[in-house]
Amino acid sequence: MMLTKTHKTLRYLVLVIMAIIIIGPFILGFWTSLLPTADIAKGTLFSTHISFQNYVDAVQQTAIMRYLLNSFVISLLTMAAQLLFCSLGAYAFVFLSFKGRDFLFYVILATMMLPFEAEVIPNFATVRQLNLLNHYAVMVIPFLTSAFGIFMLRQSFRQIPPELKEAADVEGLNHWQFYWRVTLPYARISLFTLAAYSFLESWNQYLWPMLTTFSDKFRPVQDGLRQLQSQETFNNWGMIQASAVIVVIPTLIVLFVGQHYFKDGLNEGATK
C-alpha cells in the first residue's frame, strides 16, 4: 500500500510527539544535571553556567559510588543466579519426563499472577527469621530464580528440534552435556534477553531494598537516590540530578549492548 503524503506527514507527526513526550523528561533531567542548583531553584533553565561540577560533587560528597557498587554486586549475582536456575528449571520441564511435570509447571506459572507487593510481608518475615536483613543476601536470595525466566526459557527450549536431542543421545551425551553444549548455545538469544531483563529488574528494585536495608554499606542505587534527597538539608538538586544520570548509565549500556544480540535467524540451518 502506498502512503499518501498527508498520511505520511501525520504518521511522523504522531511519532515525533510521542518521542518528545518520552525522551523530553530525560533530556530535561540531563540538562539540569549540568546546571548549578541556584539556577535550577530560580527556574532559569537556559543558563550558561554549564559544568560537570555536579558530577564531581556527587562522587566526592555522597555515597553514590558505594550505591553503584552495591547495585552492581546485587544485580550481577541475581542475573547469574537467574540464568543458571531458570535454565536448569526450564531444561527439566522440557527434556526430563517425570510425574506431575505439567502440574508443577502450572503451579510455577500461577506464582506469576501474584503481585510482588502481596508477597512482601511474608517474605520480610522469612528473611528476618533467617537473619538476612541489611545484607547483600537479602536482595539476592529471594530472587535466585524467577517464574517468568523459567517460563520464557521453557518456551525457548521447546523450539529445539527433537532430532538434536536424538543425535546427542546417539553420540552418548548425558543430560548435563546436552544442557551445556546444545541447549544453552541454541537458546543463547533467550538467555541474553533474560540476562538483560533480570539485571535491569534487579537494578531498578526499590520497595524491597527500602524495607530490608538500613545502611549505606548495602543500599542499592535507587534507594540511595531517595536517601540523597532526604539527607541534603538544602536539597542540592543539581547534584541529585547528576547522581540520577549516573544511575541510568548502566541501564543504557545493558540495553545498548543487549540489542546487538537480539537478532533473528541465528539458529537457521539446524533442520530443514
Residues in contact with other proteins by the rule CB under 8 A: 161, 163-164, 166-173, 177, 181-182, 185-186, 188, 265-272
Q: How far is the CB of 165 from other proteins (least distance, A)?
A: 9
3-state secondary structure 61-90: HCCHHHHHHHHHHHHHHHHHHHHHHHHHHH
Which residues touch 117 (CB under 8 Å, ≥6 apart)?
A: 207
Q: How far is the CB of 272 from other proteins (least distance, A)?
A: 4
Q: How far is the CB of 163 from other proteins (least distance, A)?
A: 4
Nearer to other proteins, 104 or 164 (CB): 164
Task: Indicate the DSSP class of residue 4.
Answer: P
Nearer to other proteins, 6 or 174 (CB): 174
> CA 246, 56, 217, 137: dihedral to nearest 10 degrees?
20
Nearer to other proteins, 129 or 174 (CB): 174
Residue 137 burial (CB < 10 Å; 0-12/13-18/19+)? middle
Q: How far is the CB of 181 from other proteins (least distance, A)?
A: 8
Nearer to other proteins, 117 or 264 (CB): 264
Q: How far is the CB of 178 from other proteins (least distance, A)?
A: 10
Q: How far is the CB of 103 from other proteins (least distance, A)?
A: 22
Spatial separation of the C-alpha atoms in residues 268 and 69, rounded to whole Å: 40
Nearer to other proteins, 5 or 263 (CB): 263
End-to-end CA distance of the chain: 33
Nearer to other proteins, 95 or 136 (CB): 95
Q: How far is the CB of 262 from other proteins (least distance, A)?
A: 16
Nearer to other proteins, 174 or 233 (CB): 174
Q: Are 154 and 90 in contact (CB under 8 A)?
A: yes
What's the full length of the chain, in residues? Answer: 272
Q: 221-231 and 237-261 are packed helices; what angle lies between their axes, rounded to 10 degrees?
A: 170
Q: Are 203 and 139 in contact (CB under 8 A)?
A: no
Fill in the amino acid letter for 65.
M
